[in-house]
Amino acid sequence: MTLVPGNVFGFWMFVVISVIVVYMIRASQNDKIQVSIRTIPGLEAIEECVGRATEMGRPIHFSPGLGDVVSDSVPDTLAALQILSYVTDIAARYDSQLLVTIRMPNVYPLAVETVRQAYTAANKGDAYKDNTVRYISSDQDAYAAGVIGLMHQEQVASSILAGLYMGEALLLAESAARLGIMQVAITASVMQVPFFVAACDYTVIGEELYAAGAYLSNDKGRLGAIAAQDYIKLIVIAITILGTIVTSFGSTFIQELVTK
Amino acid sequence: MRKEVPLLITLIVSIIVMLSRITTGPVPLIGISMPELFEEYISPWMTVVSAFALCLASVNLIMVHSGNISRKRQEWVYSLILLVTLIIYGAFCTYVELNPDNETAAANYSLIYNYILSPLMTGQWACLAFYVASASYRAFRARNLEATVLLVSAILVMLGAAPVGSLIWSKFPTIQQWLLDVPNMAGQRALLIGAAIGSFVASLRTMLGIERSHLGIGGSS
């Protein structure tokens, strides 16, 4: 068994980064390092979203995005499910009705388990209903139409859109804005960020999606992983600057190294 | 066991999937390559699990909409349309699959898609033009410095892209291209690199069993 050419550098970077991540997680869990994350207004607004829905006596809508758990969008979907766990916890404490809409069938059982566990942890197991988590459609257009229809029917007060989004991002967000729904969008989908910024009250972008679980749970292990990300960024920045300088002087050393 | 078995499966499967993308040649002791191992042993399981998940999701869909109809909830008629369409479309599809030689049935099946579903979807997407306009109007109001920068950039890009822009001033297309290629591209790449690192670390946490909330086992360990 040999590495396919073009993947050698990537594989060894994977090994190095894995060591950094595991070390930082253990260090954070053993209190060798103290990790804190700057305030992210969009994530702070989640509680406001749930509170608004409670005051208005209307449901709060949550979507874990269009991603699946058997594709490249796995990290986005799992990050969205971590946020769902937090939202359910607050909704349970406030006795607010929660509506979760699902696009991909594979995500449905995970979302059901996440919501059920969060309700049980909050000693509100009875609050979970069969229609709390709803499968809409795996078709992108039908999902958007279904969610917009549900927002009208159920007179949703707040909406949280987390995870991977595609072309229907503006359909969902602008329809909700026209209904006066308070919205928080949390996504790493670069092309959809402008639409969310234009239509939503709060937008959490890029890597903040993956940091949301650590931010909201304040879990030491997760915070350690976020600290590791900063060190990895430093490595990437160093390689980028070094590559720029070396290439400017006519050397192809860095190019050959990263494509090895 | 309830904790360890799913974590072990996650670790083994993720290693196989990762190595199937970047390695070649037979694995010592096993005798087959990682891509073959993935295709023969992992891929069929993904199909089976997906089929079960689809069953669960379909049961949920039918239960929710049956409940809407039986309780005559607001706009219950749409739930009825959904269930009737589900049955008709499912039955028609099954018939077409079982009778591949019946070209008339296959053509009629395509008609449903081409003349009902496709126009509905096109109509839905057509709304986007108006949604872009209304969302842009709200976003471009100069409430603070950031919104003002956004407004000015948007005006310059629009003037550069519209034919009338170059008639007003020939430099508008050049400015538009610079805005797209330099500040916009720099921002997008920064966002992408950060997101890629975040995504990688999140995957690693799941792969190593450090992240386990999706399994309903609580936070990280």
Non-local (6+) Cβ contacts of A90 within 8 A are A46, A47, A50, A96
Cα A90 from Cα A49, distance rounded (Å): 10
Nearest-CA distance A117 → chain B (Å): 6
DSSP string, A111-147: HHHHHHHHHHHTT-GGG--TTTEEE--SSHHHHHHHH
Q: How confident is the model at residue B221 (pLDDT cuts 50, 70, 90)?
A: very low
pLDDT in tens, B100-119: 888 888 888 888 888 888 89
Burial A131-140 (b: 16+ CB within 10 A, else e): ebbbbbbbeb
Non-local (6+) Cβ contacts of A95 within 8 A are A54, A124, A127
Closest Cα in chain B to A19: B204
**B21, B75, B202 ranked by CB distance to A79: nearest:** B202
Nearest C-alpha neighbor of A22 from the set B8, B29, B76, B204:
B204
Nearest C-alpha neighbor of B124 from the set A136, A1, A171, A31:
A171
**A1, A79, A102 ranked by CB distance to B23: nearest:** A1
Nearest-CA distance B153 → chain A (Å): 13
Closest Cα in chain A to B140: A198
Closest Cα in chain A to B66: A131
| Cβ-based contacts of B54 with chain A (< 8 Å) | 105
List the single best residue of A106, A110, A231 to mutate versus B (max B Cβ within 10 A).
A106
Non-local (6+) Cβ contacts of B57 within 8 A are A102, A105, A108, A135
Closest Cα in chain A to B55: A105
- Please, where are the H alpha helices in B141-184? 145-161, 163-168, 172-179
Question: Residue B199 and residue A75: Cβ atoms within 8 Å?
Answer: yes
Closest Cα in chain B to A113: B216
**A149, A188, A206 ranked by CB distance to B78: nearest:** A149
| Cβ-based contacts of A145 with chain B (< 8 Å) | 124
Average confidence (pLDDT) over B154-159: 91
Say what the pLDDT of residue B209 is.
83
First to last CA, chain A: 17
| Cβ-based contacts of A190 with chain B (< 8 Å) | 188, 191-192, 195
* 8-state DSSP, B114: I
Nearest-CA distance B163 → chain A (Å): 24
Question: Residue A1 and residue B26: Cβ atoms within 8 Å?
Answer: yes
List the single best residue of A13, A18, A19, A25 to mutate versus B (max B Cβ within 10 A).
A25
Non-local (6+) Cβ contacts of A70 within 8 A are A106, B46, B50
| Cβ-based contacts of B208 with chain A (< 8 Å) | 18, 22
Closest Cα in chain B to A116: B216
Cα A132 from Cα A97, distance rounded (Å): 8
Closest Cα in chain A to B29: A1
Cα A76 from Cα A161, distance rounded (Å): 12
- Please, where are the H alpha helices in B33-117? 34-37, 43-70, 76-98, 103-112
Q: Which two tokens stand for residue A235?
A: 């490595």
Nearest-CA distance A133 → chain B (Å): 8
- Of all residues in chain B, what percent carry a pLDDT higher than 70? 96
Which residue carries 């709390």 as its tokens? A132
Cα A80 from Cα B85, distance rounded (Å): 31
Question: Residue B127 and residue A171: Cβ atoms within 8 Å?
Answer: yes
Domain ranges of chain B: 1-98, 140-221
For the four alpha carbons of B9, B14, B15 and B21, in that order, the dihedral sign comes to positive
Cα B21 to the chain's mean position, in Å? Answer: 22
* 8-state DSSP, B214: G
Nearest-CA distance B220 → chain A (Å): 6
Cα A119 from Cα B9, distance rounded (Å): 27
Average confidence (pLDDT) over B47-54: 94
Non-local (6+) Cβ contacts of B82 within 8 A are B61, B65
Rounded to the nearest integer, the mean pLDDT of chain B is: 88
Q: What is the mean pLDDT of each run of 10 residues along chain A (260 residues)?
A: 88 92 93 91 94 95 93 90 93 94 95 92 89 93 93 94 93 93 94 90 92 89 92 93 94 89
Burial of B109 (C-beta count, 10 Å sphere; 0-12/13-18/19+): middle
Say what the pLDDT of residue A143 is.
94
Average confidence (pLDDT) over B55-63: 95
Say what the pLDDT of residue B143 is.
74
Nearest C-alpha neighbor of A91 from the set A179, A158, A10, A2:
A158
Closest Cα in chain A to B33: A1
How far apart, in Å, are the Cα atoms of B25 and each of A7, B44, B89? 15, 22, 46
Question: Residue B220 and residue A221: Cβ atoms within 8 Å?
Answer: yes
Count other C-beta atoms under 10 Å from residue B94's C-beta. 10
Instruction: Please give the model's pTM, rounded to 2 decimal places.
Output: 0.90
Residue B149 has pLDDT above 90, yes or no: no
Q: How confident is the model at residue B142 (pLDDT cuts 50, 70, 90)?
A: low
Report whether CATH 3.30.160 matches the domain A41-217: no
Cβ-based contacts under 8 A for chains A and B:
195
Nearest C-alpha neighbor of A161 from the set A58, A83, A105:
A83
Q: Which two tokens stand for residue B82?
A: 């959904």
Burial of A230 (C-beta count, 10 Å sphere; 0-12/13-18/19+): exposed
Question: Residue B23 and residue A2: Cβ atoms within 8 Å?
Answer: yes
Question: Residue B53 and residue A108: Cβ atoms within 8 Å?
Answer: yes
Q: Are residues B54 and A105 in contact, defined by beta-carbon separation less than 8 angstroms?
A: yes
Domain ranges of chain A: 8-27+223-258, 41-217
Strands B23-24 and A133-135: unpaired
**B58, B132, B138 ranked by CB distance to A170: nearest:** B132
Question: Residue B208 and residue A174: Cβ atoms within 8 Å?
Answer: no
